[in-house]
Amino acid sequence: MKKVKQIILSFHPCFTAGHQIILADRKLASGDHRWIRRADAIILPQGCSRELYGACRESGAQVFPNYDMRFRYPGKLGQTLLFEEFRFPHPETKPWSSVYELRGFIRRGGKLSHSFPFLIKAGESHEGEGIFLITDSGELEFVLEILAAWEKTGQSGFISQEMVQTDGNVLRAVILGRQTITYWKRRDNAGESIITISRNARVDRSWRKDLQKKGRSEARRISKKAAIDLAAVDFVFSMRDPDPQPLCLEINYYFGRRGLGGSLNYYRLLHNTIKEWLRERGFDPGSVKLV
Q: At 96, which CATH number? A: 3.30.1490.20
For residue 118, give the amino acid letter.
F
Q: Is 99 among the domain residues?
A: yes
Say how far apart CA 19 and CA 177 lie, in whole Å. 23
61 Cβ partners below 8 Å, 6+ apart? 9, 36, 39, 40, 41, 42
Structural domains of the chain, count: 3
Please report, for residues 195, 232, 270, the alpha-carbon distance to residue 266 in angstroms, rounded to integers and kept in the order given: 22, 12, 6
Q: Is 2 among the domain residues?
A: no
- Interval 100-119 mean pLDDT: 90
Q: Is 128 among the domain residues?
A: yes
- From the list 15, 102, 4, the residue with the least C-alpha distance to 287 is 15
User: Is 70 exceeded by the pLDDT of residue 104?
Assistant: yes
173 and 262 in one domain? Answer: yes
210 and 195 in one domain? Answer: yes
pLDDT tens digits for range 19-67: 999 998 899 999 999 999 999 999 999 989 999 999 999 999 999 999 9
Q: Is 51 among the domain residues?
A: yes
pTM for the model stands at 0.91
Asked which of 114, 138, 162 is the last residue of a domain, the reply is 162
Domain hosting 255: range is 169-268
Please report the pLDDT score of residue 194 as a whole number.
Answer: 58
User: Is 60 exceeded by the pLDDT of residue 196?
Assistant: no
239 and 204 in one domain? Answer: yes
Please report the pLDDT score of residue 119 as a whole number.
Answer: 95
Please report the pLDDT score of residue 42 as a whole number.
Answer: 98
264 Cβ partners below 8 Å, 6+ apart? none
pLDDT tens digits for range 79-99: 999 999 999 999 999 999 999
DSSP state of 174: E
88 Cβ partners below 8 Å, 6+ apart? 82, 218, 221, 222, 248
Q: Is 233 among the domain residues?
A: yes
Q: Is 251 among the domain residues?
A: yes
For residue 135, give the amino acid letter.
T
Residue 36: how many other CB atoms lie within 10 Å: 22
Say how far apart CA 267 and CA 252 lie, in whole Å. 17
pLDDT tens digits for range 241-288: 999 999 999 999 999 899 999 999 999 999 999 999 999 999 999 999
